[in-house]
């Protein structure tokens, strides 16, 4: 349903422009926030662990096992519930169940930083929470990568033990994959989609806030598994290795499953918001490309992430309740896990690509000062990628002993997906044609994304060909390929998005000079880190090894040193981000890029209710250079216009 009341509420219970009835606030330490959540989580873990031991002690099989997984998993479960209870997530629900009046959630109000540590229902607060958290997870995962490269300086193990190396590799992979599912949808999607579609709110603010507050749990649990010896399976968690592994494995399965829940919730909210909360006149043909990418990503997550949740749940029951889903000897199958995992895992890869496509397609028209070339082609490309991504997962199993006549089929579908991906390039190249290009920092990152993703995509075609894949499969070639698409594609696009939208989100501009330094160091060292990995893989270096052939040492040292420089480039970004947002605070209130996007038509940062009135969208967001183009929206539509627009909205 489209919200039609101009003075309507942004939050359940929150008022529009009227003065709010605020209850007297208690002192900050008595109000639910992150510190009470932490207390709740610790208490929950202790309770769950005790309960687990209490239940499990009755079972000989579990009591006699070398490590008891049941109390650990139950501890994690109760810790999450305790964390949410401590945040006050359940307060309103309990009040409602008891039939008591529910006060308005005012957690997003106030000027201080306190609101970012509370369970806030404002999509703009959630967006900022996500942004800071995701950057934090990314840098943590990056530190693990630095450790991996330090170990690979020498062809035999010298810095880490074999088990510590595997722990580090697995933590790096899982942490990165977990954060990448939400790295764009969380911060930019939650923050910008309502602004871009002319809505005052998202569809399900509580679901959205819950999706964010599950991520800290998930990452803390994943990190804490290091304390229990980590897990040796990498991010794929293949059974039966994951059934055999020590107690740290529970952290992996629980955290990854929890992140799956978080991503599903986030996606659900975004998809419903996009479908139901578009302002009058925001037709499908006027939807910004970024919103298209969020819509397709959302559908992928809703359909794929539950499979991950199921797979992780089965690992946990295999490990705790002694089920045998993945144990061959009792009728289970390790292929079941591989199929479940990659049925999630391959759409996941496109969950990581589509938001990047969306961001760069959104940015290039602004800095080319031209309309997006082939709007429908771009949208069709995203839809095509999204649909096809469900039909390619078995290319991860080409050598696994799958049904051999399935291989040509999956080779075909995998290669077909390069057609809609090619549309994204066609659109970019068409937009650049005779453009007026401005090389701002966001534009540089967008260009970097197109260049990097080109190598990632083309190497993907090599991997889709079964004969070529036979040598490349499971080697550093694959590793280079997906780092080119994820780090070179998604993270470059994410950086473009941060530099482009931070003036909108925080009213603050990141330092341009440092931004250019950041781009050039990141671009050069990214390529000098990952380009040699293609060669290393083809020369016979498998993934996730701490020992490699001595003749590969020079190349590996080159890669490691480049990787350290890449890490230093991230420090430039961190420095710029912290200094610009906290200390320099170069104000930017208007529309610094002269962009037509609807989100730029309100002040920066946007007022609490986004729009004083629901706008009426009059034209598409990319009509640059067209003297006859209408302004993108009427922000103060005359009374009665909205109901008229709604009456005619049937054909939209």
Partner 1 sequence: MTAETAPDQEPNHGARLLSMWLLLSASCDPLFWFLAGPHIPPGRMSSSAATQQTDFNVLAMIAIPVVIGVLLYFGYALTYWRAKDGDDTDGPPIHGNAKIQVTWMAVTTALVLFLAAFGTVELWTQQGAGAGEGPSPIWKPDSSNILEVQVIGQQWAWTFRYPQFGGFETTALVLPEGQPIQFDVTSLDVIHSFWAYQLGVKADANPGVNNVAYTTAKQLGQVTVRCSELCGLWHGAMYDYGKVVTATAFQSWARQSEVQLASITRMLPPFALTYDPTNVPVLNEVLIKLGLTSAGGGYYNSNDLEQP
Give the single-character DSSP code of 633: E
Nearer to partner 1 among residue 90 and residue 462 (C-beta): 462
Kindly state whether residue 649 participates in binding partner 1, applying the rule CB under 8 A: no
Applying CB under 8 A, does 240 fall inside the site for partner 1?
A: yes
Q: Which is nearer to partner 1, 21 or 470 (CB)?
A: 470
Other CB atoms within 10 A of residue 55 CB: 13
Query: What distances in angstroms separate CA 399 from CA 392, 402, 473, 548, one per listed residue?
Result: 15, 7, 8, 22
Q: Is 625 in the site for partner 1 (CB under 8 A)?
A: yes
Q: Which residues, 433 to 452, sit near partner 1 by CB under 8 A? A: 433-439, 447, 450-451
Non-local (6+) Cβ contacts of 282 within 8 A are 197, 198, 598, 617, 652
Least distance between partner 1 and beta carbon 416 (Å) = 6
Between residues 440 and 610, which has the closer beta carbon with respect to partner 1? 440
**Residue among 276 and 549 whose Cβ is closer to partner 1:** 549
Pair 393, 526: CB distance under 8 Å? no
The two tokens of residue 538 are 């083809």
Instruction: Give the separation between CA 169 and CA 463, rounded to whole angstroms.
Output: 23
CB-count exposure of residue 302 (10 Å: 0-12, 13-18, 19+): middle
Q: Report the residue number, 80 or 385, with the smaller CB distance to partner 1.
A: 385
Q: Partners of 634 in the beta sheet?
A: 616
475, β-bridge pairs: 542
Q: How far is the CB of 258 from partner 1 (least distance, A)?
A: 23
Window 322-351: residues binding partner 1 (CB under 8 A): 324, 327-331, 334-335
Q: Are 623 and 596 in contact (CB under 8 A)?
A: yes
Considering the rule CB under 8 A, would residue 370 count as an interface residue with partner 1? yes
Letters for 373-412 (x = contact with partner 1 by CB under 8 A, - = none) are: xxxxx--------------------xxxxxxxx-xx--xx
Query: 620: which 2 tokens?
Result: 């598409």
- For position 650 contacting partner 1 by CB under 8 A, the verdict is no
| Residue 371 in contact with partner 1, rule: CB under 8 A | yes
C-alpha–C-alpha distance, residues 78 and 353, integer Å = 34
- Residues 610 and 124: their CA atoms lie apart, in Å, by 9
- Residue 447 CB, shortest distance to partner 1, in Å, is 7
Stretch that binds partner 1, among 42-50, 79-87, 163-171, 574-582 (CB under 8 A): 163-171
Residue closer to partner 1, measured from CB, 76 or 548: 548
**Cβ proximity to partner 1, 27 vs 329, nearer residue:** 329
29 vs 433 by CB, closer to partner 1: 433
Comparing CB distances to partner 1, the nearer of 167 and 609 is 167
- Which helix (H) or strand (E) segment holds residue 30: the answer is none
Smallest gap, in angstroms, from Cβ of residue 422 to partner 1?
Answer: 5
Measured in residues, the chain has a length of: 652
Q: In this chain, which of 228, 383, 416, 612 binds partner 1, going by CB under 8 A?
A: 416
Q: Burial level of 643, CB count in 10 A (0-12/13-18/19+)?
A: exposed
Could you tell me the smallest distance in angstroms from the CB atom of residue 646 to partner 1? 28
Residue 523, interface with partner 1 (CB under 8 A)? no
- Choosing from 245, 487, 491, 502, the residue that interacts with partner 1 (CB under 8 A) is 245
Ramachandran angles phi, psi of 403, nearest 5° = -50, 120
Q: Is 158 in the site for partner 1 (CB under 8 A)?
A: no
**In whole angstroms, how close is the CB of 429 to partner 1 at the nearest point?**
5
Q: How far is CA 310 from the centre of its chain?
A: 20
The dihedrals phi and psi of 2, each to the nearest 5 degrees, come to: -90, 135
Q: Rounded to the nearest whole angstrom, what is the least distance from the CB of residue 473 to partner 1 in the complex?
A: 6
In the range 88-147, which residues lie near partner 1 by CB under 8 A? none
- Binders in 454-513 for partner 1, by CB under 8 A: 454-455, 458, 461-462, 464-471, 473-475
> Between residues 524 and 565, which has the closer beta carbon with respect to partner 1?
524
Residue 232 within binding range of partner 1, rule CB under 8 A: yes
Are the beta carbons of 625 and 597 closer than 8 angstroms? no
Q: Contact letters (x/-) for partner 1, 540-559, by CB under 8 A?
A: x-xxxxxxxx----------
Eight-state DSSP code of residue 50: H
For the CB of residue 599, give the shortest distance to partner 1 in the complex, in Å.
20
**CA distance linking residue 641 with residue 476, whole number of Å:** 59
User: What does each C-alpha distance from 9 to 109, 271, 279, 454 come to in angstroms?
Assistant: 14, 21, 15, 45
Q: Does 241 bind partner 1 (CB under 8 A)?
A: yes
């Amino acid at each position: 349903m489209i919200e039609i009341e101009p003075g309507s509420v942004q939050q359940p219970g929150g008022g529009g422009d009227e003065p709010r009835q605020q209850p007297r606030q208690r002192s900050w330490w008595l109000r639910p926030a992150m510190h009470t959540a932490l207390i709740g989580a610790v208490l929950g873990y202790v309770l769950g662990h005790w309960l687990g031991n209490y239940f499990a002690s009755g079972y000989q099989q579990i009591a006699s096992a070398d490590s008891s997984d049941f109390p650990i998993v139950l501890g994690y479960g109760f810790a999450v519930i305790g964390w949410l209870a401590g945040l006050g997530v359940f307060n309103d629900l309990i009040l409602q169940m008891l039939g008591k009046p529910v006060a308005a959630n005012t957690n997003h109000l106030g000027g201080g930083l306190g609101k970012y540590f509370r369970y806030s229902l404002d999509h703009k607060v959630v967006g900022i929470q996500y942004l800071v958290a995701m950057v934090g997870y990314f840098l943590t995962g990056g530190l693990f990568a630095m450790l991996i490269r330090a170990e690979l300086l020498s062809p035999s193990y010298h810095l880490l033990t074999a088990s510590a190396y595997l722990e580090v590799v697995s933590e790096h992979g899982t942490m990165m994959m977990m954060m990448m599912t939400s790295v764009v949808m969380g911060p930019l999607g939650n923050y910008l989609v309502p602004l871009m579609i002319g809505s005052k709110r998202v569809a399900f603010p509580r679901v959205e806030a819950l999706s964010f507050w599950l991520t800290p749990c998930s990452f803390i649990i994943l990190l804490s598994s290091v304390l229990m010896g980590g897990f040796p399976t990498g991010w794929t968690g293949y059974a039966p290795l994951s059934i055999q592994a020590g107690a740290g494995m529970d952290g992996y399965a629980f955290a990854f499953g929890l992140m799956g829940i978080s991503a599903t919730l986030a996606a659900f909210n975004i998809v419903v918001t996009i479908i139901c909360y578009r302002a009058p006149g925001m037709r499908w043909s006027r939807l910004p490309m970024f919103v298209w990418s969020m819509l397709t990503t959302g559908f992928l997550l809703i359909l794929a992430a539950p499979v991950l949740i199921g797979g992780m749940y089965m690992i946990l029951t295999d490990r705790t309740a002694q089920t045998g889903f993945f144990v061959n000897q009792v009728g289970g199958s390790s292929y079941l896990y591989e199929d479940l995992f990659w049925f999630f895992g391959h759409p996941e890869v496109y969950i990581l690509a589509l938001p990047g496509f969306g961001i760069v397609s959104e940015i290039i028209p602004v800095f080319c000062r031209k309309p997006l070339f082939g709007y429908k082609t771009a949208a069709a490309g995203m839809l095509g990628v999204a649909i096809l991504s469900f039909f390619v997962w078995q290319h991860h199993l080409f050598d696994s002993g799958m049904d051999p006549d399935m291989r040509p089929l999956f080779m075909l579908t995998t290669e077909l997906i390069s057609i809609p991906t090619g549309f994204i390039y066609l659109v970019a190249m068409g937009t650049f044609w005779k453009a007026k290009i401005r090389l701002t920092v966001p534009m540089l990152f967008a260009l970097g994304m197109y260049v990097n993703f080109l190598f990632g995509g083309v190497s993907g075609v090599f991997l889709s060909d079964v004969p070529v894949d036979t040598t490349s499969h499971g080697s550093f070639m694959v590793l280079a390929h997906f780092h080119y698409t994820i780090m070179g594609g998604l993270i470059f696009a994410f950086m473009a998005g941060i530099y482009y939208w931070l003036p909108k989100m925080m009213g603050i501009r990141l330092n341009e000079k440092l931004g250019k330094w950041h781009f050039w160091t990141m671009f050069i060292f990214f390529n000098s880190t990952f380009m040699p990995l293609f060669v290393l893989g083809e020369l016979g270096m498998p993934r996730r090894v701490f020992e490699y052939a001595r003749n590969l040492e020079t190349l590996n040292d080159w890669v490691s040193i480049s990787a350290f420089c890449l890490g230093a480039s991230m420090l430039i970004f961190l420095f710029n981000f912290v200094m610009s947002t906290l200390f320099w605070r170069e104000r930017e209130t208007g529309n610094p890029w002269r962009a037509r996007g609807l989100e730029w038509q309100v002040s920066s940062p946007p007022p609490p209710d986004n729009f004083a009135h629901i706008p009426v969208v009059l034209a598409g967001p990319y009509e640059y250079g067209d003297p006859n183009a209408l302004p993108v929206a009427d922000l103060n539509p005359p009374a009665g216009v909205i109901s008229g627009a709604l009456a005619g909205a049937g054909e939209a």
